[in-house]
Amino acid sequence: MDLKNSPGEVLAHRFEQILYKLAHASKTLSEANEIAHHMLIRIKAITNPTSELRLKVVSLPDMEILGRQFTSRIMAIKQDLLQMEELSHSLASEISSGGIKCQTCKGDGVVAEERVQREDDHFIVPYEEYIPCSDCKGLGVLNLPADLLRSAYILVDNLKSTANLLR
């Protein structure tokens, strides 16, 4: 078996996909925070136009643009969290049944193998034959040890609730 398709590696890879969404949401939240501070500077510069604030405002987009930038960041965070929820949900349902989807056969339990057939007129015709996947023994699922399953399930079960933050 390819090491990349070992149960532990597959599980780690699936977690990484989920955590990538979280990292992206986190980066976007920092941007939203910065934009919100720029809006605050614009507000302060109206009520208290010190030379320092006026200087800062010069390099900032106007309030309407800042507002649109802020909204687009919040929408992007929502998308990330929704995708995180989806990925966590499907991983949670896989591991709640005791295993994780085999990457080699994508859960089908079979893989296509190229074969060639010689026709009567001596033409060689390629065709695909489906054979049971050797990595998962045709089950489509890689079994995970019980202790790893339990921790993994608690993690994804909690990660999938993050999307509720923005509902």
The CA-CA-CA angle for residues 110, 148, 78, to 5°, reads 80
Exactly one of 105, 149, 152, 159 binds Zn ion (CB under 5 A); which one? 105
Closest to Zn ion by CB, 28 vs 104, is 104
133 is an interface residue for Zn ion by CB under 5 A: yes
Among the candidate windows 36-44, 87-95, 132-140, 156-164, which touches Zn ion by CB under 5 A?
132-140
Residues 6+ apart with CB under 8 A from 128: 112, 113, 114, 115
The reply on whether position 102 binds Zn ion by CB under 5 A is yes
Among 28, 69, 88, 104, binds Zn ion (CB under 5 A): 104
**CA distances for 86 relative to 21, 46, 110, 139, 145, angstroms:** 11, 44, 26, 24, 24
For residues 159 and 167, give the distance between their C-alpha atoms in angstroms, rounded to a whole number. Answer: 15
Contacting Zn ion (CB under 5 A), which of 38, 91, 135, 163? 135
**Contact residues for Zn ion (CB under 5 A)?**
102, 104-105, 133, 135-136
